[in-house]
Amino acid sequence: MIKLALRTFAATLIIGTVAATYSSTARAQGAAPAAASSTTTAGSSEAAPGEKKFTLVSEQLGDTKFWLPSTIVVEPGDKVTLTLKNEVPGAAVTHGFELPAFKISEVVTRGEKPKVVHFTADKAGIYPYYCQLHPGHVGGQLVVEPAGK
């Protein structure tokens, strides 16, 4: 785990150098527990408590392909939705996304609709995600940890 975390951290540093415009770590918005509210806000786009949504994009920077962001953080028990986009240019039109700890394995095709996957982050820990089709395609990590840690 530590080795993986360090390797991913190194990848994060590279990303930070190459593309400062990308945020390498993402925390879902709107995750604060709602106070006992008597009304429902119509049309609210905020995720409900316990729900986290992320868009992960496969990108190419220089000669290297990445899944970005390279770290996503959720809390144990969160219902997580990942929208997976492939924006890597070039001849290969498909890239993979695998998060084996939660039995997720998808192939995302450039130019087609993004893939959307759902799972419950029911165990704390650090779990890798990567492209199962290309060993050199840099992945990232899902961090499941209690808030305030």
Among 7, 110, 115, 134, binds Cu ion (CB under 5 A): 134
Among 8, 137, 139, 140, binds Cu ion (CB under 5 A): 137
Three-state secondary-structure class, residue 16: helix
Taking the least distance from each CB to Cu ion, the nearer of 61 and 124 is 61
Span from 30-38, 69-77, 112-120, 137-145 in contact with Cu ion (CB under 5 A):
137-145
Q: Is 131 in the site for Cu ion (CB under 5 A)?
A: yes
Using Cβ positions, the residue closest to Cu ion within the complex turns out to be 131
Residue 42 and residue 70 in contact, taking contact as beta carbons nearer than 8 Å: no
Taking the least distance from each CB to Cu ion, the nearer of 24 and 86 is 86
Amino acid identity for residue 60 in this structure: Q
Burial class (CB within 10 angstroms; exposed 0-12, middle 13-18, buried 19+) of 9: middle
Taking the least distance from each CB to Cu ion, the nearer of 90 and 148 is 90
Amino acid identity for residue 90 in this structure: G
Q: Is 53 in the site for Cu ion (CB under 5 A)?
A: no
What is the gyration radius of the CA atoms in the chain, in angstroms? 16
Closest approach, Cβ 7 to Cu ion, in A, equals 17
Residue 101: DSSP 8-state: G
Closest approach, Cβ 116 to Cu ion, in A, equals 19
Span 73-102, contacts to Cu ion by CB under 5 A: 95
- Listing DSSP states for 38-50 in one string gives SS--TT--SPPTT
Closest approach, Cβ 58 to Cu ion, in A, equals 7
Total binding residues for Cu ion by CB under 5 A? 5
- Tell me the sheet residues that pair with 86: 58
CA atoms within 13 A on the CB side of 97: 28
* Binding residues vs Cu ion (CB under 5 A): 95, 131, 133-134, 137
